[in-house]
Chain A
Amino acid sequence: MKCDECGKREATFHSIKKINGVTTERHLCSECQKKYGGSLMKMSGLGNLFGGLGSFFDEPRLSARNEYICPSCGTTGDEFLRTGFVGCSNCYKEFAPIIMPVIRRMQGDVSHVGKVPLGVENSVSMEYDRLKKELEKAIELEEYEQAGIIRDRMRQLKGESSDERKL
């Protein structure tokens, strides 16, 4: 039986709860059990959530991870690497050297090009939008050389590195 949460690994944890005649079944693999099995308040006891995704981590950098502690929420770099969760927005700044390689491997890109909250300006998202329209026009006019130039510029904007384009 496969895990309810990730659907990939075999389920090793089986819980059948019966509340007022309602049976709830949970079948989880060990990774997801650590992530979803306990209650939220017991989160500190998490195991290595990213165990199955070990390649996301840049091993040489791991040695220094204990030096990272977020002054705003108290989360440590080690805790982040174990659980996959940061504790607050400031963690992203505080853990930048360990978190950015993780983000690059997970997402393939490092720059946001989407929605901007009302009242906030983001020149990258605006520029990306503009280029996207230009690209569509270039393709429509069959100006493929121009389209290639625009595509490269879009790639630059989102920080895509050619060797890690595929997840």
Chain B
Amino acid sequence: MNGNYNDVVVTSRVRLARNADGLPYPYKLNDDRALLLAKKVCDAVNKRSSEPSDVENGDADYALYRMESINDIDGEVLREKHLISADLLENKKYGAAIINGSETVSVMVGEEDHIREQCILQGFDLHGAYHKINAVDDDISKAIKFAYDAKLGYLTSCPTNIGTGMRASAMMFLPGLGITRNLEQCVGAVARLNMTIRGVYGEGSEADGYLYQISNQKTLGVSEQEILGSVQASIGHIADAELHAREQLFKENSVAMKDRIFRSYGVLCNAYTLDSKEFMKLFAMVKLGVFYELLKVSDSQRFEKLVTDAQPANILNLSGKQLGEEERDVFRAAYVSKTLKSICKR
């Protein structure tokens, strides 16, 4: 049961906010210059001096999605994958996203700032995410002159992002702290380090799969490396507490925990209908069961991907059909059951 941080950190993300010099910011920009900007960014990232490994796995090719022409479901699919924001979806007329083949890099154009570059990687790898997005940022800067001030750094639409324009964050799976009700204390300690914690799918409670996002608040007067360092330290602090809580939980409530985990597994493998909230709640317990080595997973990538797959728009997309709500829950139950039975066993 010796856990490492990858048992706690689901994904690592680094986001950089940028604006084009000489253009009004998106809220004040209501003409075709906004459309031109998306095209320029897309050309810039596609022309980038790709690393050979990127070419191999399709990462060198970026696709342009315009919010104007994307259908509602495809838009929601991207949002559920955290590749675009709800804000971008709202900017129907001028919003666009440029996303690479492996869906690790996404550049939003026409969100709160002209350009929002982000890289999401699986597991605990903030430095990897920064390395990748920093290279993309350099490539875009060759095509577009960024709004930059010698004193204030990168200028942003809201002063909360000014300076580095950087938000480094991690999505953390915290059932141990959640179940033992130690989360609040932990959140308080981290908040004192100028970090923000919030639920990923709502409040981050049981029904939301105990998923939380932690990120830096401060963006000015700190270097990118210092931000990475401080977020990483906070993640470490929470992850240690989480691993400790999981250990205690199992030690003190072994029978009850095993029962909850196997019941959850049983329902996910046999339910006839399943809504996304119930899925999140049960899947969190199954995931915990994998951590305790009560369940064995043969394909962890597919296993982790289930969380996104089971979201409303993604599951519809996977069905390839126009389903009503009831039919969709039936399809979700069948999909989850089939996947779990093939890759996760007792």
- Footprint of B on A, CB under 8 Å? 1-2, 4, 6-8, 18-24, 26-27, 36, 38-41, 43, 72-75, 84-89, 92, 99, 102-103, 106-118, 120, 122, 124-125, 128-129, 132, 158-160, 167
Interface string of B136-163 (1 = CB under 8 A from A): 0110011001111111111101111011
CA distance in complex: A107, B158 (Å): 12
Q: Taking chain A's interface residues, is the majority helix, strand, or loop, or is none over half, making it mixed?
A: loop
Q: Decide: A110 near B151, CB < 8 A? Known: A19-B72, A22-B76.
A: yes
A-B contact pairs, 6 of them (CB 8 A): A19-B73, A87-B25, A112-B154, A112-B220, A115-B164, A118-B141
A88: which B residues are within 8 A, CB to CB? 23-25, 28
Which of A108, A112, A117 is close to B152, meaning CB atoms less than 8 Å apart?
Answer: A112
CA distance in complex: A77, B322 (Å): 49
A72: which B residues are within 8 A, CB to CB? 24
- Within the complex, the shortest CB–CB distance from B204 to chain A, in Å, comes to 8
Q: Which residue of B lies closest to A80 (CB)?
A: B159
Tally A-B pairs: CB < 8 A. 171
Question: Judging by beta carbons under 8 Å apart, are A1 and B203 in contact?
Answer: yes
A129: which B residues are within 8 A, CB to CB? 223
A24: which B residues are within 8 A, CB to CB? 76, 312
> Which stretch, B83-91, B168-176, B280-288, touches the partner chain A?
B83-91
CA distance in complex: A13, B316 (Å): 27
- Within the complex, the shortest CB–CB distance from B310 to chain A, in Å, comes to 13
A39: which B residues are within 8 A, CB to CB? 90-92
B58: which A residues are within 8 A, CB to CB? none
Question: Judging by beta carbons under 8 Å apart, are A160 and B221 in contact?
Answer: yes
Additional A-B contact list (17), CB under 8 Å, known A19-B72, A36-B87, A115-B134 = A4-B202, A21-B323, A22-B72, A26-B86, A38-B90, A39-B91, A39-B92, A73-B28, A85-B25, A106-B159, A112-B149, A112-B153, A113-B223, A114-B163, A117-B141, A117-B148, A122-B150
